[in-house]
Amino acid sequence: MMKTMTRTGLAAMAAAMMMGTCVPCFAQDNTDGSVTKTETKCSSDFSYDDEGNATKTTEVEYTQDGETKNFEYKEYIDAKTGEKTLLQVPILISNETTSEIKEFYMTPVSAESWGDNMLGDNTLAKDYERETDYAVSVKESDSKFDFKVVTADGKEHYFENIDLSDISRDQVTFSVEGNENDGYTLYNSINTLDIQD
C-alpha cells in the first residue's frame, strides 16, 4: 500500500539520503590503530510509519581477515525534527584489568538512575570478554553516556560524559584497562576514551 508522505517526512528522507547510503563503520581493533575490516557491499532501505517517521535499514557485507561477513543496522529518523537515532547496537564488555569486574552500567548523561547491571548475576574475570544481553541506542542529540564499573573489591569507578556518536554499528566493545594503583581507563572499539577514574 502506498503511503502519502508529509513535507516533513520527505525532508527527513532527503536529509538521510544526502548523508550517503552507507558510512564507514568498522572498528579500529588493532593496538596499532589499523583496520582489519574492509567493506565490500552496502545497501539501505527505508520504511515509514503513519506519521512519516523513517526507519533506515542498512545491510553491510565486509571481509575480515579473509572471511566474508554480514551485519545489519537500523536508524530511526524523526519526521518532525530529522534527528537520527542509531538503534540497538550489540554490546561486548572486555576486562583487561588486574581485577574481576562485578558490575557494569552505562546510561545516557540525561538519565537520573543507573538502571540494570549489564553483567546480570555474572562477573567478568580478568582477560575475559562477554557479549551482554543489552544493546545501546544513540540519539544525535543525546549521544553522551556515563559509565560505572564496580570491581571485585567493591570499589566504584566512574567514566562520565563519554560521546558515543561515532560508535561502530555492528557491535561496540567497551574495554576496561588498568589497575588499582594506576587507575582505570575505558576504551570503546572506535574511539579511545582516555579518561581515568
Instruction: Taking residues 87-94, report their average pLDDT.
Output: 84
Q: What is the pTM of this model?
A: 0.65
Instruction: Give Cβ neighbours of residue 144 (< 8 Å, ≥ 6 apart).
Output: 108, 109, 161, 162, 163, 164
pLDDT in tens, 54-66: 888 888 777 767 7
- Res 21 pLDDT > 70: no
**pLDDT at 163 (0 to 100):** 84
Helix, strand, coil abundance in the chain, percent, nearest 5: 5, 50, 45
What separation in angstroms does the CA of 51 have from each of 2, 18, 21, 80?
A: 14, 21, 23, 9
Cell of 84: 537520527
pLDDT in tens, 91-149: 889 898 888 999 999 999 988 899 899 998 889 998 888 888 787 888 888 888 899 99
DSSP per residue, 1-20: ---PPPHHHHHHHHHHHHT-
Q: Which residues pair with 101 in a beta bridge?
A: 124, 151
CB hemisphere CA count around 99 (13 angstroms): 21
CB hemisphere CA count around 64 (13 angstroms): 14
Domains of the chain: 7-18+36-82 (3.30.360), 88-188 (2.60.40.2890)
Confidence of residue 84 (pLDDT cuts 50, 70, 90): confident
